[in-house]
Chains A and B, each alone.
Chain A
Amino acid sequence: MGHSHNTIAFHQDKCDGCGECMTVCAGAKSGTADTLHSRLKIVPSIAANDSFELALCRQCGDPKCVLNCPSGSLTKNHKTGVVPWDAEKCVDCLLCTVGCAYGGITYNAAAGHVMKCDMCDGDPACVKSCPTGALEYNRSAEIYNNYGELEDLFVPGLAACQGCNSELLIRHTMRKIGSNAVVATPPGCIAGMGTVGFNGKTGSKIPVFHPLLTNTASMLAGAKRYYNRIGRDVTMVALAGDGGTVDAGFQSLSGAAERGEQMLYICVDNEGYMNTGMQRSGSTSFGSWTSTTPVGETLHGKTQDAKNMPVIMMMHNCEYVATASLAFMDDYYEKLDKALAAAKRGMAYLHVYSPCPTGWRIPSESTNEVCRKAVETNFVTLWEFAPDEGLRFTHSTDDPLPVEEYLNLSGKYRHLDDAQLTHIENSVERKVAFLNGFMLATSDDGAESLAQ
Chain B
Amino acid sequence: MPDAALTNEPKSIVCDGNEAAAWAVSLAKPDMVAVYPITPQSSLVEYVSQFIADGKIDADLMDVEGEHSVMSVLHGACLAGARTYTATCGPGLYYMFEPYVRTPGMRLPIVMSVVTRDGLTPQSVWGGQQDAMMLRETGWIQIYCESVQEVLDSLIMAFRIAEHRDVMLPVNICHDGNYLSYGVTKVFLPEQEMVDDFLGDKDTNWHVALDPDRPMSVDPLTGGEGPGGPSTFVRYRQGHCAGMQNALRVITETHEEWERKFGRCYAPLIEEYRLDDADYAIVTIGSMSGAGKDAVDVAREQGQKVGLIRVKTFRPFPMEALRNTLTKVKAIGVVDRSVSFAWNCGPVFQEIQAALYQLKERIPAISFIGGLAGSDITGEHFARVIEATGNQLAGDMTESPVWLNENE
Q: Do A and B touch each other in the complex, judged by CB within 8 A?
A: yes
Report which of A191, A203, A224, A229 forms a contact with B76, defined as CB distance below 8 A: A224
The stretch from A56-64, A85-93, A211-219, A323-331 touching chain B is A211-219
Give per-residue flags for A237-268: 1 if the beta carbon is below 8 A from chain B beta carbons, else 0: 00000000000000110111011000000000
**Contact A209–B226 (Cβ < 8 Å):** no
Interface bracket on B? 35 or more
Contact of A200 among B65, B81, B210, B228 (CB under 8 A): B228
- Bound Cα distance A222, B80 (Å): 8
> Does any Cβ of A come within 8 Å of B275's Cβ?
no
- Residue pairs across A and B with Cβ atoms less than 8 A apart, 5 shown, are A182-B80, A201-B220, A209-B219, A222-B34, A226-B77
B99 adjacent to chain A (CB < 8 Å): yes
Cβ of A212: which chain B residues have Cβ within 8 Å of it? 72, 98-99, 102
Contacts of A252 in B (CB 8 A): 65, 68-69, 72
Query: Does B60 lie at the interface of the complex (its beta carbon under 8 Å from any beta carbon of A)?
Result: yes
Which 3 pairs of residues, A with B, have the shortest CB-CB distance? Answer: A222-B76, A255-B65, A222-B73
Give Cα A130–Cα B102 distance, bound, in whole angstroms: 57
Contacts of A219 in B (CB 8 A): 72-73, 75-76, 79
Judged by a CB distance under 8 angstroms, whether B20 is at the interface is no
Are A199 and B73 closer than 8 Å at their CB atoms? no
A222 near B77: Cβ-Cβ < 8 Å: yes
Task: State in angstroms the CA–CA spacing of A206 and B216 once bound together.
Answer: 6
| Interface pair B77/A215, CB less than 8 Å apart | no
B76 engages A198 (CB within 8 Å): no
A162 touches B (CB below 8 Å): no
* Residues B217 and A209 in contact, CB atoms below 8 Å apart: yes
Q: Which of A180, A200, A210, A230 contacts B212 (CB 8 A)?
A: A180
A215 touches B81 (CB 8 A): no
> Does A363 sit at the interface, judged by CB under 8 A?
no
Given the known A-B contacts A222-B77, A226-B60, are A251 and B66 also in contact in the complex, defined by CB atoms under 8 Å? yes
Q: Are A218 and B221 in contact (CB under 8 A)?
A: no
Report B's interface with A, CB cutoff 8 A. Answer: 31-32, 34, 60, 62, 64-66, 68-69, 72-82, 98-99, 102, 209-212, 214-224, 226-229, 232
B28 to chain A, nearest CB (A): 16
Please, how many angstroms separate the alpha-carbon atoms of A202 and B66 in the complex? 32
Chain B residues within an 8 Å CB radius of A222:
32, 34, 62, 72-80, 82
Contact B77–A202 (Cβ < 8 Å): no
Chain A residue at minimum C-beta to C-beta distance from B34: A222
Q: Does A225 contact B (CB under 8 A)?
A: yes
Number of interface residues of A (CB under 8 A): 44
When the two chains form their complex, are residues A218 and B215 in contact, meaning their CB atoms are under 8 A apart? Answer: no
Cα-based distance from A181 to B80 in the complex (angstroms): 12
Q: Output the least CB separation between B244 and chain A (Å).
A: 23
Most chain A CB inside 10 Å of its own CB: which residue of B99, B102, B220: B220
Selected contact of B65 from candidates A223, A230, A258, CB within 8 Å? A258
B79 touches A255 (CB 8 A): no
The reply to whether B77 and A225 contact each other, CB–CB distance below 8 Å, is yes
Known A196-B220, A198-B220, A226-B60; contact A209-B210, beta-carbon cutoff 8 A: yes
Chain A, residue nearest B73 (CB): A222
A115 to B32, CA, bound (A): 68
| A218 with B220: CB separation less than 8 A | no
Which one, A223, A230, A259, contacts B64 given CB within 8 A?
A259
Which residues of A lie under 8 Å from residue B228 when comparing CB positions? 199-200
Does A437 have its Cβ within 8 Å of any Cβ on chain B?
no
In the complex, whether A205 has a CB less than 8 A from a CB of chain B is yes
Query: Which single residue of chain A is at the shortest CB-CB distance from B69?
Result: A218
- A251/B65 in contact, CB under 8 A: yes
Q: Determine the distance from Cα of A230 to Cα of B224 in the docked complex, in whole angstroms.
A: 39
- Known contacts A214-B98, A226-B32, A226-B82; is-contact A196 B77 (Cβ 8 Å): no
Q: Are B102 and A223 in contact (CB under 8 A)?
A: no
| Least distance between B360 CB and chain A CB atoms (Å) | 45
Q: Which of B64, B214, B223, B226 has the most CB of A within 10 A?
A: B64
A100 interface contact, C-beta 8 A: no
Output the nearest chain B residue to A219 by Cβ-Cβ distance.
Answer: B76
In the complex, chain A residues whose CB is within 8 Å of the CB of B60: 225-226, 229
Measured between C-beta atoms, what is the minimum distance from A186 to chain B in Å?
11
Q: A226-B60, A255-B66, A259-B64 are in contact. Are A211 and B232 (CB under 8 A)?
A: no
Asked if A179 is at the interface (CB within 8 A of a chain B CB), the reply is yes
Is the CB–CB distance between A204 and B217 below 8 Å?
A: yes
Q: Which residue of B lies closest to A255 (CB)?
A: B65
Chain B hits for A210, CB < 8 A? 218-221
Central interface residue in A203, A218, A255, A258, by most chain B CB within 10 Å: A218
Rounded to whole angstroms, the CA-CA distance of A210 and B72 in the bound complex is: 12
* A197 contact set on B, CB distance < 8 A: 217, 220-221
**How many Å lie between the Cα of A211 and that of B106 in the bound state?**
12
A179 touches which of B64, B68, B215 (Cβ 8 Å): B215
Taking CB atoms, residues of chain A closer than 8 Å to B224 are: 198-199
A207 touches B216 (CB 8 A): yes
B217 close to A211 (CB less than 8 A): no
CA distance A241 to B391 in the complex (A): 64
Q: Which of A181, A201, A210, A229 has the most CB of B within 10 A?
A: A229
Are B226 and A254 in contact, with the CB atoms below 8 A?
no
A255: chain B residues at CB < 8 Å are: 64-66, 69
Q: Mark A30-69, 1 if CB is under 8 A from B, else 0.
A: 0000000000000000000000000000000000000000
B72 touches A218 (CB 8 A): yes
Contact (A221, B76) CB under 8 Å given A206-B212, A212-B102, A254-B65: yes
Q: In the docked arrangement, what's the CA distance between A269 and B355, Å?
A: 53
B residues within 8 A CB of A221?
Answer: 62, 64, 73, 76
- Is A220 close to B, CB under 8 A? yes
Q: Which residues of B contact A21 (CB under 8 A)?
A: none
A173 → B minimal CB distance (Å): 16
Whether A227 is near chain B, meaning CB under 8 Å from some CB there, is: yes
Are the C-beta atoms of B220 and A199 separated by less than 8 Å? yes
Q: Are A208 and B222 in contact (CB under 8 A)?
A: no
* Complex CA–CA separation, A220 to B76 (angstroms): 6
Report whether B219 and A251 are in contact in the complex, using a CB–CB cutoff of 8 Å.
no
Q: Give chain A residues whose Cβ lies under 8 Å from the Cβ of B65.
A: 251-252, 254-255, 258
Q: Report the Cα distance A438→B82, complex, angstroms.
A: 42
Contacts of B82 in A (CB 8 A): 222, 226, 229
| A225 & B62 in contact (Cβ 8 Å cutoff) | yes
Q: Which residues of B lie under 8 Å from residue A208 when comparing CB positions?
A: 215, 217-218
Residues of A with C-beta under 8 A to B229: 198-199
Given contacts A202-B217, A207-B212, A252-B69, 16 further A-B contacts (CB under 8 A): A182-B212, A198-B222, A199-B229, A199-B232, A207-B211, A207-B218, A208-B218, A209-B79, A210-B219, A214-B98, A219-B76, A223-B77, A223-B80, A226-B80, A226-B82, A251-B69
Closest to B81 in A: A226
CB proximity of A27 to chain B, nearest CB, Å: 53
A204→B229 CA distance, assembly (Å): 19
The reply to whether B222 and A227 form a contact with Cβ atoms under 8 Å apart is no
**Interface residue? A234 (CB, 8 A):** yes
What residues of A have a CB within 8 angstroms of the CB of B210 in the complex? 182, 207, 209, 223
Please tell me if the beta carbons of A223 and B79 are within 8 angstroms of each other in the complex. Answer: yes
